[in-house]
């Protein structure tokens, strides 16, 4: 899960870099806000909706700012991308197995 989570962090990191903001600092703040929201009681649950404000270069509550994103489409996109990656890895494994089998037949 660690590598998968790091792969997903590429998205806000790239957006922050393209906006000429300090990506490392913004990501650290965003991760801290999300971590606090998941670890704390309901008093910090609003931090679950925190995101990046790349115009101002800060972390903000996107829900309070009126930024509402459809979670279903995000979840479906991530599911489809994951399925595509798994399919590619399976095909790669099959190709490697086929090459190993072919190499074994040549040596005989």
- 63 & 77 share domain: no
- 74 & 60 share domain: no
For residue 61, list its beta bridge partners: 50
Question: Tokens at residue 83, please?
Answer: 């399925």
Q: Residue 53: count other Cβ atoms within 10 Å of its Cβ.
A: 17
C-alpha 56/C-alpha 93 separation (Å) is: 46
Task: Summarize pLDDT for 55-80 with one digit per residue, the tens.
Answer: 999 999 888 898 887 878 888 998 99
Task: Summarize pLDDT for 18-57 with one digit per residue, the tens.
Answer: 999 999 999 999 888 888 877 766 555 667 788 899 999 9
Domain range for 22: 1-68
- 61 & 74 share domain: no
Q: In the chain, how many domains are there?
A: 2
- 14 & 42 share domain: yes
pTM of the model as a whole: 0.64
- 36 & 88 share domain: no
């Amino acid at each position: 899960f660690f590598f998968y989570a790091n792969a997903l962090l590429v998205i806000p990191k790239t957006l922050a870099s393209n906006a000429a903001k300090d990506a490392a600092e913004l990501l650290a703040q965003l991760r801290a806000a999300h971590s606090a929201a998941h670890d704390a009681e309901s008093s910090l649950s609003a931090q679950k909706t925190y995101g990046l404000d790349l115009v101002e270069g800060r972390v903000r509550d996107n829900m309070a700012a009126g930024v509402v994103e459809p979670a279903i489409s995000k979840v479906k996109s991530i599911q489809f991308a994951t399925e595509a990656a798994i399919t590619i890895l399976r095909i790669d494994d099959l190709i490697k197995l086929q090459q190993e089998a072919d190499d074994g037949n040549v040596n005989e």
